[in-house]
Amino acid sequence: MKLLSSLAVLAVLFGFKSSEKPYFTAPSNTDIETLISQMSIEEKVGQTCQITLDAIHKTDDKGQALVPAQIDKAKLKEALETYHVGSVLNVGWHTLDRAEWKSIMTDIHAPYLQKEQNIPILYGIDAIHGVNYTVGGTLFPQEIGLAATWNPELARQMGEVTAYECRASGIPWNFSPVLDLGRQPLWSRHFETLGEDPVLGTQMGVALVEGYQGKGAKVDEFHAAACLKHFVGYSASFTGRDRTPAFIPEKYMQELYFPAFKAAVEKGALTLMINSGVVNGIPGHANYQLLTQTLKKDWGFKGFVVSDWEDFIMLHTVHRTAPSIAEAAIQAFNAGVDMSMVPSNPQYKTYCQDMVKAVKEGKISMERLDDAVRRILYVKNQLGLFGNPLPDMSKYPLFGSQTFKNIAKQAALESITLLKNETQTLPLKGSQRILVAGPGAASINMLNGAWSHTWQGLDTSFNTKGVLNIYQALKYQFPVASISYAKGVELYMEKDFEASRFDGLDSYKKALKKNDVIVICLGELPSTEKPGDIRSLQLDEKQKELVRLAKAAKKKVVLVLLEARPRIINDIEPLCDAIVQAYLPGDQGGVALAELLTGQADFSGRLPYTYPRYDGVIEFYDHPGSVARAKSGQFTAYNPQWDFGFGLSYHAAVVKNVSFKSKNENTGAFVVKVSIENPNKTSVQAVVPIYLSDLYASTTPENKRLIGFQKVTLAAGENKTIEFAFDASVLKRISSDGKWRAEKGAFEIICDGNKLTFELFNDLLF
């Protein structure tokens, strides 16, 4: 009775009949509570349900999505009116143009704008290296390349451009960034990570979130909600295969896998997606401790948690922690999943029915349901969707503009990493006859990798018009030289795995004779998730044969790697005069490579991971204990192909002096100053990393670990002193009692070969 009468009062206050639903255009927290109090169980459950576009798409007789993309209004009506669905994601199987997006979005938002619905729909997409599902969008390097720039400002700019172009496509929610730590190079999604280091990953990841969401208290119509993926440990699978179990001790969870997520949550990231795999025996989607205790209670995450694709269903079908799909939905929801990417039709209908039944039977409490709905409505409100779910899509004049392409090119330029350059092989010279060869030489798809116009990124028919591949870009940027092309090897998919065959090998051999320098572009076909699983890290043999043949012909060999993950090349490395790691540099990668290879721009990319030398020995730069053993001569424990942070430049800056000053002996705060000089007649960009080594501690310390870095630009002849201010929290590690502690004793600061030792006199607990 009490409830009924207070609702009647509210109805009078807000000017709607009690039979009508409140329609707020910029709801306050109280309004949101009013909304929730007016919703039926069915409506609340609907908010937690996310469907894929295919579920409401017009199809032909065979179920194939129609082109141009069109909403099936009957299916939409059913999803909204009967099931009250709150969110839609994805694209059919390929990229759409902005007119198609406009038509889709107009249809989807029409019921809300016509006040038939009172809660707007939230649309999400994987714009993971630019708006890869909108024709003409700006494609950046994949995250692994972005990390190699060591330039958080570029990450912020990439985020800003991507969010703008998402909004220009009518989409306010981006399933990015991936904050999984790249410590399993076999993993098919290694390229989607920001590398192996938690400090680099955190700074770059937080910058991306800031770029996506903007700096305001609310997200304006030029920004989009970020989605932190995939909480947590997805990247650490033991087998290296996608979505297989990981084992992560609590210490490493705290020190390595949590930091980027925690920092991004503190930055205000609005949503978070869950790891589809199993960590320490518990599926990510059933992990109450991680989702509710750690994320929501301990870290104070205010946004909502979304499942990954069909993942509550997997709790029953794959992980077998739930005896039925209905039980699985309850398990995931009670663990802390607020929205389920169900996402297909008719599965979503069953999900809604099962969930309503579970609430009615008390298997899901109303309090928990309200909490999920509150979080979802909070995010919709932060995005300004109430009242304006579809800002005018014509007011985005910079979509696909040269200004945006220049930022993407800058990101590619700063990411590409020079790993070897003997006898000044690079830059290429105008007097040389240059052969550009290999499967990557004339492929736009190999520049971009997966999540580019299609999920796997293999289809060439949707590539952005006017984009130059490496061969075309070299010809264009370097007209003075003689430049020709021979493919030599073709990559293709065979029974789910990448395979190769020689393609025009005779022409390649003939072309070798006529040229001085052979730029061989090798790597991988685009792939991600399960289709990207591999059985060995070795680079494909036929591709390596192109290097052997070029060397046997006594030519200068420049190896360009287009890799989603570091592939083993220890046998061909000695045969190469220069080696360039391009990662997956995006649409502007061809032009950026051409500028770098010809010396029109300088390299400033640095490896965001330890490049392995052997297939069976995967190690990381901070690996505890290994250096001492390597020194003893008994073992060569740490012996990667290239070290984390490694990268050459044509013109380098020189670190002149490193100084340490304790700011406060009691709190442990300190400052490191680095004087750096550019002795060159040209400006340079330098990455200055600061590493720390705890010399003795109760748990075996890392050899060294990154605690800060800056990327600086120095004009010709310029001297600069850069300052790093640290508080004592950078000294903390998980000690033997499982607590965060800076343990007293000696520490070493390491910067460019300079080592400074200081002492902490008391333990500090955090």
Residues near ligand BGC (CB under 6 A) are 89-90, 126, 175, 229, 273, 308-309, 529
* 3-class DSSP state of 582: coil
Least Cβ distance, residue 218 to ligand BGC (angstroms): 24
Residue with Cβ nearer ligand BGC (273 or 594): 273
Residue with Cβ nearer ligand BGC (343 or 668): 343
The two three-digit tokens of residue 214, written as one number: 């903007």
Q: What is the 3-state secondary structure (H, E, C) of 61-123?
A: CCCCECCCCCECHHHHHHHHHHCCCCEEECCCCCCECHHHHHHHHHHHHHHHHCCCCCCCCEE
In the block, which residue shows the tokens 């609430």? 359
Pair 43, 83: CB distance under 8 Å: no
Least Cβ distance, residue 290 to ligand BGC (angstroms): 17
Residue with Cβ nearer ligand BGC (143 or 743): 143
Pair 449, 132: CB distance under 8 Å: no
Residue with Cβ nearer ligand BGC (91 or 470): 91
CA distance 138 to 346: 35
Least Cβ distance, residue 277 to ligand BGC (angstroms): 10
* Residues 664, 670, 672: CA angle, nearest 5 degrees: 150
Torsion of CA 116, 122, 126, 127, to 10 degrees: 100
Residues whose CB is less than 8 angstroms from the CB of residue 730 and which lie 6 or more positions away in sequence, other chains included: 692, 707, 708
Least Cβ distance, residue 562 to ligand BGC (angstroms): 22
Pair 279, 287: CB distance under 8 Å: yes
Residue with Cβ nearer ligand BGC (295 or 749): 295
Pairing mode of beta strands 740-742, 764-765:
antiparallel
Residue with Cβ nearer ligand BGC (309 or 650): 309
Please name the residue ranges forming H helices in 267-401. 288, 311-317, 325-335, 347-360, 366-382
626-661 burial, b at 16+ Cβ within 10 Å, e below that, comes to: beeeeeeeeeebbebbbebbbbbbbbebebeebebe
Least Cβ distance, residue 136 to ligand BGC (angstroms): 21
Question: What is the phi/psi pair of residue 730, to 5°?
Answer: -70, -15
Please name the residue ranges forming H helices in 336-487. 347-360, 366-382, 402-415, 445-448, 470-477
Angle at which helix 198-213 crosses helix 259-266, to 10 degrees, equals 30
Question: What is the phi/psi pair of residue 11, to 5°?
Answer: -60, -40
CA distance 640 to 614: 8
Residues whose CB is less than 8 angstroms from the CB of residue 402 and which lie 6 or more positions away in sequence, other chains included: none
Q: How far is CA 397 from CA 13, 125, 169, in A?
A: 42, 21, 12
Residue with Cβ nearer ligand BGC (126 or 563): 126
Least Cβ distance, residue 455 to ligand BGC (angstroms): 8
Number of Cβ within 10 Å of residue 37's Cβ equals 13
Least Cβ distance, residue 325 to ligand BGC (angstroms): 18
Residue with Cβ nearer ligand BGC (134 or 500): 134
Angle at which helix 589-597 crosses helix 470-477, to 10 degrees, equals 50
Distance of CA 318 to the CA centre of its chain: 26
For residue 298, indicate whether it is catalytic: no
Among candidates 344, 306, 357, 326, which has minimal Cα distance to 45? 357
Please identify which of the residues 31, 242, 308, 338 carries the catalytic annotation.
308
Residue with Cβ nearer ligand BGC (49 or 273): 273
Least Cβ distance, residue 578 to ligand BGC (angstroms): 35
Q: What is the DSSP letter of 301?
A: -
CA distance 224 to 210: 10
Tell me which residues are annotated as active site: 308
